């Protein structure tokens, strides 16, 4: 049997702080055969931990997202439908082109006043209390409200929507993840049908229903469901973790926080360093070798799964000096927090915009913001990197 690294042996410490483990793995080599911890059912994968190797793997067309080409079927694809993270060119190119017609930079930029309004409303409710869980009071409701308004999800559905979304990306068990996908599939099927029957709507999902390429191509009902699903994940869950982890990084590095307060023009760079230092996605979703290939001297057989460690890559000392230091003036170019190549996160501009508005408003209105206890628990699994609670006071 092939030698492997058993990540389950590191227990809860690995979930709370995986960085020392990834650092030891990088010292041994950039690519490892590893057994994943629960709830990933202890499956075996090739784990890429080096920065250069991660960027190469993320852009390597031999590492396929579409399992159909190698005889693999995926639960979310069967229940939800085809989407950007389960397709390769030319189908991926077609889907991304259709959605890009509506999910434009102009549409995202136009959201800034509404994002500011939502942020102000949340802070108005939070500040009189003197202390709060920042995840519950700001980091979660802000992007949830934005993506629900963007997709046209009715306000009454948003509590259930939040639970389904969280259970998909960070399930406590395999059954919880399965149930959430089933519920989301049924919900989006009904929502899309309601929008078709009710006539034109000015939200993004309504626009995607109507959008037509020059050659008459349109998204099928299954593809619409898949697009709604991936927009939910890309446009919501990543931002929750980016805001909360970013605030935590600032509050545990008071010198950096003071520098940012003194010069808010550093905010753009600070957000990029937050992405590098503690990005919202720990590992990219699985890829599969469409053919035998060599990756950093490791022979990968056709059909074997590859997991690319975004968190590990962005703490690689061969790319970033003193990688475990949080430095808002650091040159962060090349970080892979939102991926790289054709699968670079579609929701990245929206996540950055929401985070900048949230941080600017929070720091302006809470000049004495401080931690009010330890964060946590940290999200289970190896997909998302974030905390369920962040107690703060002011």
Question: What's the pLDDT tens digit per position in 364-378?
Answer: 999 999 999 999 899
CA angle, 221 then 281 then 268, to 5°: 105
- Euclidean distance between CA atoms 131 and 8, whole angstroms: 36
What's the pLDDT score for residue 222? 85
- Choice between 201 and 86, residue whose per-residue pLDDT is larger: 86
Cβ-count burial of 289 within 10 angstroms (0-12 exposed, 13-18 middle, 19+ buried)?
buried
- Choice between 240 and 71, residue whose per-residue pLDDT is larger: 240
Out of 61-65, 171-175, 222-226, 350-354, pick the least confident. 171-175
What's the pLDDT score for residue 97? 87
Cβ-count burial of 3 within 10 angstroms (0-12 exposed, 13-18 middle, 19+ buried)?
exposed
Q: Residue 68: how many CB atoms within 10 A of its CB? A: 15
Residue for token pair 């520098």 = 259
Out of 49-63, 154-168, 320-334, pick the least confident. 154-168
Instruction: From residue 238, give the alpha-carbon distance in Å to each of 91, 144, 389.
Output: 25, 11, 15
What's the pLDDT score for residue 296? 94
Q: Residue 186: how many CB atoms within 10 A of its CB? A: 13
**Highest-confidence range of 3-7, 65-69, 246-250, by mean pLDDT?**
246-250
Q: Residue 208: how many CB atoms within 10 A of its CB? A: 23
- Domain of 295 in residue numbering reads as 5-393
- Choice between 6 and 170, residue whose per-residue pLDDT is larger: 6
- For the residues 250-257, what does the mean pLDDT come to? 98
Positive or negative: CA dihedral 239, 241, 244, 247? negative
Question: What's the pLDDT tens digit per position in 211-243?
Answer: 765 567 788 888 888 888 888 777 788 899 999
What's the pLDDT score for residue 202? 77
38 has pLDDT over 70: yes
- Choice between 189 and 121, residue whose per-residue pLDDT is larger: 121
Cβ-count burial of 185 within 10 angstroms (0-12 exposed, 13-18 middle, 19+ buried)?
buried
Question: Which residues make beta-bridge pairs with 64?
Answer: 288
CATH number for the domain spanning 375: value is: 1.10.630.10
What's the pLDDT score for residue 358? 98
pTM: 0.92
What's the pLDDT score for residue 155? 83
Pairing of strands 293-295, 298-300: antiparallel
Round to the nearest angstrom and report the end-to-end CA distance of the chain: 56
What's the pLDDT score for residue 317? 97
Q: Count how many domains the chain has.
A: 1
């Amino acid at each position: 049997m092939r030698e492997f690294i058993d990540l389950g042996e590191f227990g809860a410490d690995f979930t709370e702080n995986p960085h020392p483990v990834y650092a030891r793995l990088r010292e041994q080599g950039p690519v490892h055969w590893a057994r994943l911890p629960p709830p990933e059912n202890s499956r075996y994968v090739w784990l890429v931990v080096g920065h250069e190797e991660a960027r190469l793997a993320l852009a390597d067309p031999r590492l396929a997202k579409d399992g159909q080409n190698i005889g693999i079927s995926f639960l979310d694809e069967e229940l939800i439908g085809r989407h950007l993270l389960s397709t390769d060119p030319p189908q991926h190119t077609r889907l991304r082109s259709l959605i890009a017609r509506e999910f434009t930079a102009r549409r995202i930029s136009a959201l800034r006043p509404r994002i500011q309004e939502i942020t102000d409303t949340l802070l108005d409710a939070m500040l009189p209390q003197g202390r709060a869980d920042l995840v519950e009071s700001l980091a979660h409701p802000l992007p949830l409200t934005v993506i629900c308004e963007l997709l046209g999800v009715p306000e009454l559905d948003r509590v259930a929507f939040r639970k389904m979304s969280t259970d998909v990306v960070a399930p406590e068990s395999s059954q919880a993840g399965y149930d959430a996908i089933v519920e989301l599939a049924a919900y989006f099927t009904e929502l899309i049908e309601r929008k078709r029957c009710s006539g034109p709507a000015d939200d993004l999902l309504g626009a995607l229903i109507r959008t037509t390429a020059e050659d008459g191509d349109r998204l099928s009902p299954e593809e619409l469901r898949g697009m709604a699903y991936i927009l939910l994940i890309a446009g919501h869950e990543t931002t929750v973790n980016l805001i909360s982890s970013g605030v935590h990084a600032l509050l545990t590095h008071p010198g950096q926080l003071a520098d940012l307060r003194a010069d808010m023009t550093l905010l753009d760079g600070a957000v990029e360093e937050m992405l590098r230092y503690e990005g919202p996605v720990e590992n990219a979703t699985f890829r599969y070798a469409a053919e035998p290939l060599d990756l950093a001297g490791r022979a990968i057989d056709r059909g074997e799964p590859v997991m690319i460690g975004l968190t590990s890559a962005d703490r690689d000392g061969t790319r970033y000096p003193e990688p475990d230091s949080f430095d808002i003036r650091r040159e962060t170019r090349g970080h892979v927090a939102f991926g790289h190549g054709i699968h670079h996160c579609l929701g990245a501009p929206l996540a950055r915009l929401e985070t900048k508005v949230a941080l600017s408003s929070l720091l302006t209105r809470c000049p004495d913001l401080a931690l009010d206890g330890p964060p946590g628990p940290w999200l289970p699994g190896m997909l998302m990197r974030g905390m369920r609670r962040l107690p703060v006071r002011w």
